[in-house]
Structure 1
Amino acid sequence: MKSKGMDIENKHVMQKQKLEVIDILKEAVQIYFRNINFIIFTFLISLPLLCFLIYFETYLQGTLAEFIEILYQLPVKPAYRLFIPENITQRLSKDFSLKLIRLGFLYLAPLHVIELGTVIVSVNLASKVRSEERKLTLKEMFRNPFDIFKFKGTFITSIYVILLPSCTLLVLIWIVISYCMILWDSSFYILFRVICGVGLGQLLKVYLVGTAVWNMSILISILEGVHGFKALALAEHFSRGSQQQGFLLMFIFLVWGVCLRLPCLYVGCYKEGYGIVLQTGLFCIGNLLKWVVCMVYFYGCRRNHQLLENKIEEGIS
């Protein structure tokens, strides 16, 4: 009975101390806009990422536009989709496959390294802005902004982190392609769409919950100096009881990215410079804010578990 009472009390402590999503977003925005020097500094260090993202987004949206064009050339009736025209098969097997390989290389090599360096510097500084009462000057921010040893450790964690989302994304892509192209009898097509839609929704939720944990492991590597599987284990431990928060936060930024990309893809911004630059700039701002949000989320989860552990120790004593 005593153990059961302690469990109920522990759950009550977690619920009482748990930050709401709106509170996390408010604190992150306050940190981001608290110091104008922080905005200037993050803008300057994000320029290499912005420049490469413009190229990457142009190539990505061009590839997506080509894929949509291929889908429109498929037979309308699902029963006829087994007989894909030869010209479409050649495009998928040769030209489009090479573009996907190149896109994967651009994401895994240059983009990942540039983004990781930007995240390390931004999060490290955001943590200082959050903890220090006085405003840091721009000169202080530029003084030793990058730690090569911290980059090495965080890079090790990021390798583990990349493998997990990549596998999940491959499954998501496979479901989407199957949803669009696989052969099914018309009488079962509606049922197939429902099953695929439910499966895709559940897998997307698992992916977003996992993304919150994976991002937290990166933050643990940056702020706590713990790397690899240990960082992942700590992130999973701290996020227990707060998965719903992590899901909602990641869902907000997923919607932000989709809402930026879809109009640009529809209008064809990737064909001209101005639209893609604006879209990429807004995407960069959202990405920086996302990492500040993840930092606040991490500190909140860690504080909750420290309070819970203290409560357990008091109960034992």
Structure 2
Amino acid sequence: MKMDKKLSVIELLKQAVKLLLSNINLPLIIFLCSLPLFCFLIFFELSLQTTLSFTYQFLSKQVNVEKDLSQNDLFVQATNYLTYQPLYQQRNIWEDLSENDLIPCLIKTSLLYFFPYTILDLITTTTIVAASSTVYTSKEEPLGLLDLVRRSIKICQKRLGGCLITSLYVLLLSTSVFLFFLPFFLLFFFGFFSHWADSLNIVSLVHQRQTLLDLVPFLIYAMVVLVQATLFMYLTAKFIKWSAGWNMSLVVSVLEEDGDEGVYGSDALSLSAWYRKGHEKCDVWMMLMFLVFAVVTRMPCLYSKCSLSSSGKGVLYTGFYVGLICVGNVVKWLACVVRYHDCKTRILRNKADVEQAKPLMSGKETGGK
């Protein structure tokens, strides 16, 4: 690898695949440690699909209620919507929630995510990072299975406590950002596109002669949609950028050597940001690619409502795309390990060059005097 050249996304993925195939024992260890997470994810994804399906049905019903309510003045409609005064306040929405069992599904899915999934994902991630880094930095012949397992377990035992603290930081940050991001997402997709597009009848505005006053609701609609679209894309880009830093901080917590406990928590986040300087754009594209991959693989099951299917095909399809997501996560963490060692090597080499240059500069100054 040429150290003077920064790794692009394609080169980083190639290095990750090359690392995975460099030792036949590494895929075996990754498969064994990922198996419990894979089995749990099938159950979790089925619960998530049911929750998303019920949420979509509930929001669609509320949008339909808005459409059914008669309003003679579109400008009053726009004012009510922009001031966040729902038009369906006269309806009992909690009755619909109890009928669809939405609240129990939300609670169940949230609990599954925060406790079993987070712990299993942390153990799996720590093992993958430790084993792949051991293979990546090994100067010996391909390590044997028992030797690789022993070294990986030794790293995990030392760093698991620090990784747990870092993961709690990441969980708190990601959950806070997601809860802040969620209202904009729901408003963008279920608010204006579902309700206003039908109410304003854009085709009639274009083909019929309209006064300036008649165009006011359409102009308000266009301006708000433009603002929402801009904010939506900005928040998505920020979330992806922060996700790259959070992932690198977990790698730092596993691999960084600073005493027995290592680096964790806010120190790991700070060190991750320092290592990633100059690589932010590449990391954003890589994380965006994995995010799109995870969303695209889930869409067929969400569209066909696999969790609500009475046959076993829904579980089979869910297991298939969960396997794809697990493979994608393995490649992602291997790429993060390669990125970590590449960035650390550059920093250490630059530091060594500076230290070597100091005696030369001092000698020139002495000679000049």
Aligning the two structures, in what range does the TM-score lie when normalised by the shorter sequence? 0.7 to 0.9
Matches within 5 A, 1:118-157: 118-132=124-138, 133-143=140-150, 145-146=152-153, 147-157=156-166
Does the alignment pair 1:116 with 2:125?
no
Equivalent position SS for 1:39? helix
Aligned to 2:366: none
Aligned to 2:273: 236
Q: Which amino acid aligns with 1:267?
A: S
Q: Structure 2 CA distance, aligned partners of 1:228 and 1:134?
A: 35
CA contact (8 A) 1:25 1:293 kept: yes
Check 1:119–1:208 CA distance in 2 against 1; reply closer, same or farther (3 A cut): same
Does the alignment pair 1:303 with 2:337?
no
Aligned to 2:26: 38
Q: Structure 1 CA distance, aligned partners of 2:92 and 2:218?
A: 25
Matches within 5 A, 1:13-24: 16-24=4-12
- Unmatched segments (≥5 aa) in structure 1: 1-14
Check 1:59–1:153 CA distance in 2 against 1; reply closer, same or farther (3 A cut): same
Matches within 5 A, 1:251-266: 251-266=288-303
Aligned to 1:279: 321
Q: Structure 2 CA distance, aligned partners of 1:230 and 1:85?
A: 51
Cα offsets for 1:169-190 (capped at 9, x unmatched): 1122110122223787554222
Q: 1:198 aligns with which of 230, 241, 265?
A: 230
Aligned-pair CA distance for 1:131: 1.9
Aligned-pair CA distance for 1:149: 3.6
Does the alignment pair 1:82 with 2:87?
yes
Equivalent position SS for 1:17? coil
Aligned to 1:188: 220
Aligned-pair CA distance for 1:303: 2.4
Aligned-pair CA distance for 1:85: 7.2
Does the alignment pair 1:65 with 2:53?
yes
Higher mean Cα deviation, 129-138 or 291-300?
129-138
Structure of higher CA gyration radius: 2
Aligned-pair CA distance for 1:242: 1.1
RMSD: 2.5
Q: Structure 1 CA distance, aligned partners of 2:223 and 2:352?
A: 51
Does the alignment pair 1:168 with 2:177?
yes
Q: 1:177 aligns with which of 147, 164, 186?
A: 186
Does the alignment pair 1:210 with 2:220?
no
Aligned to 2:106: 100
Does the alignment pair 1:219 with 2:251?
yes
Q: Which amino acid aligns with 2:5?
A: Q
How high is the TM-score relative to the length of structure 2?
Answer: 0.75
Fraction of identical pairs, as percent: 33
How high is the TM-score relative to the length of structure 1?
Answer: 0.87
Q: Structure 1 CA distance, aligned partners of 2:40 and 2:239?
A: 26
Q: Structure 1 CA distance, aligned partners of 2:346 and 2:151?
A: 32
Higher helix share: 1
Cα offsets for 1:185-220 (capped at 9, x unmatched): 554222222211111111111111111111111111
- Unmatched segments (≥5 aa) in structure 2: 68-73, 197-216, 257-261, 362-369
Equivalent position SS for 1:235? helix
Q: Structure 2 CA distance, aligned partners of 1:273 and 1:291?
A: 27
Q: Which amino acid aligns with 1:223?
A: L
Aligned to 1:10: none
Query: How many residues end up aligned between the 2 structures?
Result: 303
CA contact (8 A) 2:131 2:149 kept: no
Q: Structure 2 CA distance, aligned partners of 1:299 and 1:306?
A: 10
Higher mean Cα deviation, 82-91 or 295-304?
82-91
Higher mean Cα deviation, 49-58 or 292-301?
292-301
Q: Structure 2 CA distance, aligned partners of 1:222 and 1:160?
A: 15
Q: Which amino acid aligns with 1:64?
A: L
Higher mean Cα deviation, 160-169 or 97-106?
97-106
CA contact (8 A) 1:31 1:126 kept: yes
Cα offsets for 1:228-248 (capped at 9, x unmatched): 111111011111111101101
Check 1:313–1:203 CA distance in 2 against 1; reply closer, same or farther (3 A cut): farther
Higher mean Cα deviation, 89-98 or 242-251?
89-98
Q: Structure 2 CA distance, aligned partners of 1:252 and 1:105?
A: 28
Q: Structure 1 CA distance, aligned partners of 2:218 and 2:91?
A: 24
Cα offsets for 1:106-158 (capped at 9, x unmatched): 11111010011011111111011112242222233333643334211110111
Aligned to 2:210: none
Q: 1:247 aligns with which of 281, 284, 295?
A: 284
Q: Structure 2 CA distance, aligned partners of 1:309 and 1:120?
A: 29
CA contact (8 A) 1:17 1:304 kept: no
Q: Structure 2 CA distance, aligned partners of 1:103 and 1:281?
A: 20
